[in-house]
Amino acid sequence: MNAPIAIRSVGMISSVGLSAPSTCAAVRAGIRNMTVTGFRVRRDAPLSAAQVPLEHAWRGKQRLVKLLASSVAECMEPLPSTNRPDLPILLCLSETSRPGRPADLDESILPDLEDEVGVTFSREYSEILSLGRAGGLVALDRAQTLLIQGGVPQVLIAGVDSLLVARSLAWLEDQDRLLTDDNSNGVIPGEAAGCVLLERSSFAATDFACVGIGLGHEPVTIYSDGPFRADGLTNAVRAALDDARLDLADCSLRLTDISGEHYYFREAALALGRILRREGCREIWHPAECIGEVGAAISPVLLGYASVAARKDYLPGSTLIVQSSSDEGVRAAVCLTVLGKSDVQ
């Protein structure tokens, strides 16, 4: 990557915090906020979930808009009002095939968001990416094109999702993917939104920037049978490292979207074993253990969490790799670094 992309500001809302600072502080401290919901699972047991304590009990698309607007408004707060019109936004949502997803979500969420935050986003460059968990990292690849080749000065990447929908929960339960007393190979459903503001890096010593992006596709998904070698994630991580001209051992940390399912832990371990050839990169963080499985919101949350950790100097090193895997096979990885502490040029 010839021109690194810097993260300038972040916004976040989750079950453990209604802002980026509070969410990041809670995740760093290992705080969880799982509450009993009105949903029931097998044997009529109540379901615990990572639920955002909103002011009102909004449901469906309206709840997604409220979550998204909170994170976007927080992320845009440092911007002068003159910089706000026609800002491109790359908006990451759940896969269109997921049960319980609002039918008209792709078509209506951007106008609804504009009404909620009072901002008009660029119609020419804004885009909806319905790719699930990996969408935010795929959006970084699109943002790179806009910032470097399209001459756009700033881009927002935002994501929102909620699994606290009856049809979505019933689908997860039917797939044996919910964490319950009877099933340890499952997730705690949650909801969240995240947003990051990106610019071309000025190469300032304090810039926290993306210096490598890699994408891949996994043919043997969580729904498939067959020999599993983690080809998709391995290819994505290798491509990101090649783009950044780094070795995996140069990264001090893997920041992942893993939320409890054995398949994704195995995938991360297989990819590590196939790429790592010398000592390093043994530490792994997975914030979903605190905020739950939050679907398409997780990648923007991971980017924001990494940025806050770098700014507050609690990253274990100057360079890390963020990796994400969607249920339908999309795989993505990005290398992030503090330029003033890195050898990356």
Instruction: Look up the pTM and report it.
Output: 0.96
Range of the domain at 300: 208-339
In a domain, 345, yes or no: no
Which uninterrupted H or E stretch holds 278?
A: none
Q: How many independent structural domains does the chain possess?
A: 2
Cα radius of gyration rounded to whole Å, the chain:
19
In a domain, 344, yes or no: no
Give residue 146's pLDDT: 95
> In which residue are the tokens 């893997």 written?
254
Same structural domain, 194 and 212: no
Give residue 115's pLDDT: 96
DSSP state of 134: G
Give residue 167's pLDDT: 94
**Rounded to an integer, what distance in angstroms lies between the CA atom of residue 84 and that of residue 120?**
8
Mean pLDDT of 206-231: 94
In a domain, 255, yes or no: yes
Give residue 82's pLDDT: 65
Same structural domain, 253 and 196: no
Give residue 281's pLDDT: 75
Tokens read off for 307: 């940025």
Which amino acid does the sequence have at 143? A
Same structural domain, 22 and 160: yes
pLDDT tens digits for range 27-84: 999 999 999 988 887 767 888 999 999 999 899 999 999 999 999 999 999 988 766 6
CATH number of the domain that residue 10 is part of: 3.40.47.10
Same structural domain, 229 and 290: yes
Same structural domain, 85 and 151: yes
Residue ending a domain, choose from 200, 231, 256 = 200
Which uninterrupted H or E stretch holds 305?
A: helix 298-311
Same structural domain, 162 and 290: no
Mean pLDDT of 273-298: 92
Same structural domain, 221 and 257: yes
